Amino acid sequence: MEVSNPYLDNDVRVVNTGCCHDCGGRCVLKAHVKDGQVIRLESDTGEDPQIRACMRGRAYRQRLYSPDRLQYPLRRVGRKGAGKFERVSWDEALNEVAGKLKYVKETYGNASILLLASGGNQGMLHGPLPVGAMLQEFGGFTRTWGIASYEGAMYASMATYGTIRTGNSREDLLNSKMVILWGWNPAVTIQDPGTSLMLARVREKGIKIVAVDPRYTDSAATFASQWIPIRPGTDSAVLIAMAYVILKENLQDQAFIDQHTVGIEKYKDYLFGVDDGVQKNPQWAESISKVPAEVIAKLAREYALVKPAALIAGWGPARAAFGEQYSRAANVLTAITGNIGVSGGYAAGFMRAYSSREFSHKKVVVRPDQAKPKRTGNPVEDGASPRKYSLHKLYGGTNPNGARIHNAKAFDAILRGKAGGYPADIKLGYVVASNCLNQNPNTRRGEAALAALDFMVVHEQFMTPTARFADIVLPVNTFMERSDIAPPWLGSPYYIYLNKAVDSLYEAKSDLDICRELAQKLNISPMMFAFTEDEILQGIAAGRDDIPDYGAMQRDGVLKIRLDEPVVSFKEQIEDPGKASFPTLSGKIEIYCEHLAEMGDPSVPPVPRYMPHAESHDASLAKKYPLQLITPHDKKRAHSTWHNVPWCREIEPHVVRINAVDARDRGIRDNDMVDLFNDRGRVRIRARVTERIMPGVVELTQGAWYAPDEKGVDQGGCANVLTRDDVSPGGAHPMNSALVQVEAFSQD
């Protein structure tokens, strides 16, 4: 859809589209198109709230027109990973993919086909959806479960509340008396556009904002009046000690607890050491977290008494070993202070407010006893029993199907298969919208795994570290070259309609068109493929109750939904408990979770606990690798997307950040080359000596592309060379639980 051109050159048409990769936003972009080329961009200039694109979106022309864009299908000619390919025709490439799919299906069965899909290039239509539809029709496939960003937070949200719809609208933060940003840096991670602006307005209103984080982040520096540095992996200890203070000093909202929760006594048993003789007091938490006991006690009292208060528990600290315990501890803290279901409060949890990512905004509360076992439609998954530790009695959250392989274990599953306890022997990898070698933990093990596959096909826009291992690489277009619909992550009430701005570049095709052609070669006809792109998008829109006018959304490029009042999750349950209950087994907020208790496994305790692990700060391994690595988002990229865009890269070089004390101990000066390593791998990179990270912690932002030299040393700065390919029982990826050492690098 085009609008009349208000600009100088009257041969420019303006196409309303939007930015759509895997950050927390989805933002308005207006592409100025001249002679079939995007010549410049604007963002939202329309009515409030404006959904303004960030630096990444504004830099999109350099990604769209990058000289590195994949132009035609490629077949590997060198060894896997070497990056040597030859040009082939679409017909040749798809024949080969179809042939391999058929061969693997006939020889090993459909379960040997592993779909490695992610959100790197994904709208509501394009991305993994058509690939899944195709493989399902083909007889099924093995898929992964576990999202690196938030699986721990999601598990904890389900265990506590029975739902992931726990957030309040951002504007409701203006009704808070205090806001805690726990491991949350939306200035970089976005977490819905407008979040940072809202936090600025909260600060300007005089509302106190506290940041708890090992780093003095851009968000901490811009919004918070108090920064509490905390040792990575110990967030649950501090949250637990806050609960201790509140309950010990009788500051809890007892009426709320009595009315809306179950299990406070069991939690008290843990807090006051009835279980294990250990008082979970601030002194206990200080010794673990390095947060002074008096700071913990003061924060606890303030949070309990200054009502309402919003504890926003970011997903980062849950991307850790036992990350779900941190999220559980945060959720429970919001409950015992009665900050749930009230304006200005916040239930922590998964934090979705509006439902634009779900099928409908209408709240379908399904009581667990009414929930029916979900068929996934994937024949490979039919009849599989629920996965160990899954919250399979609940409706919603992560699909508990036991035929799925955890994302962090995909490489291990490829290497070990059924003999290693996995549901299938994997032979063929189908990769779409995913740079899994780079973004899954333990890159070097990933190299071995991808090299071990009989065949791998990758849909890609660039020759990523993952694509280098493909047998066939299929060039995919970008959102500028197709139409789609995109909602933000956490449910701000809007949709972006992405109108195709330019024709596909070179020989690139959409994921949908690739699968259409491939389906023909596989002699299958998935129902989805009988429809045009526009018909499918209309169908997606028609199935929802908050898109009244598809044509208007398409014309405007954005649909901003006007709510009568800001979303306050659980308002119904709190205001009228007789009428509404929580979709948990007990119908209440579960401080003590019966579903977890039934598992009878100490690694999934029914009340939140602090649990050390093999790479805790005080693990025996810390003698050898004394620094804790954290791998947060980088403002230059969204995960590994935009890594290769010069306008973004020129912000600053990719570096490892290290505190001045740790640097001095190692003879490292700012800008020196250093080696960052552990038993899993070694990264050679420049050091940024900074005061903005606490001693004992180093930061290597995730997403930079893996680039091993001939000795296997990564010169690209890929954080996952150092992370553990392990999984917490609740599914949290331990990306922020890796011990490392740093040494000055010298040429000799």
37-42, strands of its sheet edge to edge: 2-3, 13-19, 27-34, 37-42
In the complex with other proteins, the residue whose CB is nearer, 35 or 748, is: 35
In the complex with other proteins, the residue whose CB is nearer, 368 or 695, is: 695
CB neighbours of 622 closer than 8 A, spacing ≥ 6? 615, 616, 739
- Binding other proteins (rule: CB under 8 A), the pick from 15, 54, 405, 473 is 54
- Binding other proteins (rule: CB under 8 A), the pick from 546, 647, 675, 707 is 647
d(CA 495, CA 553): 8
Q: Tell me if 8 contacts other proteins by CB under 8 A.
A: yes
Q: Tell me if 448 contacts other proteins by CB under 8 A.
A: no
122 alpha carbon, distance to own chain's centre: 13
In the complex with other proteins, the residue whose CB is nearer, 48 or 369, is: 48
Q: Tell me if 55 contacts other proteins by CB under 8 A.
A: yes
Strand partners, 641: 638
In the complex with other proteins, the residue whose CB is nearer, 83 or 695, is: 695
Q: Tell me if 43 contacts other proteins by CB under 8 A.
A: yes
Total residues in contact with other proteins, by rule CB under 8 A: 53
Strand partners, 386: 401
Q: What angle do CA 630, 635, 638 make, to 5 degrees?
A: 85
73, HSE (Cβ side, Cα atoms, 13 Å): 18
In the complex with other proteins, the residue whose CB is nearer, 515 or 638, is: 638
Binding mask 213-252 for other proteins (x = CB under 8 A): ---x-xxxxx-xxxx-x-----------------------
The alpha helices in 164-234, defined as continuous H runs, are: 186-189, 195-204, 218-223
Query: Closest separation between CB of residue 463 and other proteins, Å?
Result: 21
Q: Tell me if 660 contacts other proteins by CB under 8 A.
A: yes
Which range in 36-44, 150-158, 563-571, 717-725 contacts other proteins by CB under 8 A? 36-44
Which range in 127-135, 481-489, 618-626, 649-657 contacts other proteins by CB under 8 A? 649-657
- Binding other proteins (rule: CB under 8 A), the pick from 2, 3, 7, 552 is 7
Query: Closest separation between CB of residue 228 and other proteins, Å?
Result: 9
Q: Tell me if 53 contacts other proteins by CB under 8 A.
A: yes
> Which class for 419: exposed (0-12), middle (13-18), buried (19 or more C-beta within 10 A)?
exposed
Instruction: Restricting to residues 606-645, name those near other proteins by CB under 8 A.
Output: 635
Q: Tell me if 319 contacts other proteins by CB under 8 A.
A: no
- Binding other proteins (rule: CB under 8 A), the pick from 193, 308, 423, 583 is 193
In the complex with other proteins, the residue whose CB is nearer, 133 or 220, is: 220
The total number of residues shown for the chain amounts to 748
CB 403 within 8 A of CB 423: yes
d(CA 503, CA 507): 10
Instruction: Restricting to residues 671-710, name those near other proteins by CB under 8 A.
Output: 690-695
In the complex with other proteins, the residue whose CB is nearer, 369 or 650, is: 650
Which range in 87-95, 200-208, 357-365, 679-687 contacts other proteins by CB under 8 A? 200-208
Taking the alpha carbons at both ends of the chain, their separation in whole angstroms is 61
Task: Give 38-75 as a DSSP string.
Answer: EEEEE---SSSSP-B--HHHHTHHHHHT-TTS--S-EE
Query: Closest separation between CB of residue 659 and other proteins, Å?
Result: 6
d(CA 489, CA 355): 9
Query: Closest separation between CB of residue 221 and other proteins, Å?
Result: 4
Query: Closest separation between CB of residue 132 and other proteins, Å?
Result: 34
Which range in 72-80, 512-520, 658-666, 706-714 contacts other proteins by CB under 8 A? 658-666
Q: Tell me if 41 contacts other proteins by CB under 8 A.
A: yes
Token digits of residue 335: 């409950």
Query: Closest separation between CB of residue 222 and other proteins, Å?
Result: 5
In the complex with other proteins, the residue whose CB is nearer, 589 or 630, is: 630
CA 319 vs CA 225, 251, 387, 602, 681: distances in Å: 26, 30, 20, 20, 20
Binding mask 279-298 for other proteins (x = CB under 8 A): --------------------
> Which class for 734: exposed (0-12), middle (13-18), buried (19 or more C-beta within 10 A)?
buried
Query: Closest separation between CB of residue 616 and other proteins, Å?
Result: 22
214-217, Cβ contacts within 8 angstroms, sequence gap of 24 or more: 214/628, 214/630, 214/693, 214/694, 214/697, 214/699, 215/185, 215/630, 215/632, 215/657, 215/692, 215/693, 215/694, 215/697, 215/699, 216/691, 216/692, 216/693, 217/185, 217/187, 217/188, 217/692
Q: Tell me if 59 contacts other proteins by CB under 8 A.
A: yes
Identity of residue 231:
R
Q: Tell me if 659 contacts other proteins by CB under 8 A.
A: yes
- Binding other proteins (rule: CB under 8 A), the pick from 135, 173, 505, 648 is 648
CB neighbours of 76 closer than 8 A, spacing ≥ 6? 84, 85, 470, 471, 472, 473
- Prior bond to 566 cis, omega within 30? no
CB neighbours of 451 closer than 8 A, spacing ≥ 6? 80, 81, 469
Q: Tell me if 40 contacts other proteins by CB under 8 A.
A: yes
Residues at the interface with other proteins (CB under 8 A): 6-8, 39-43, 45, 52-55, 58-59, 61-62, 187-188, 193-194, 196-197, 200, 203-204, 216, 218-222, 224-227, 229, 635, 646-651, 659-661, 690-695
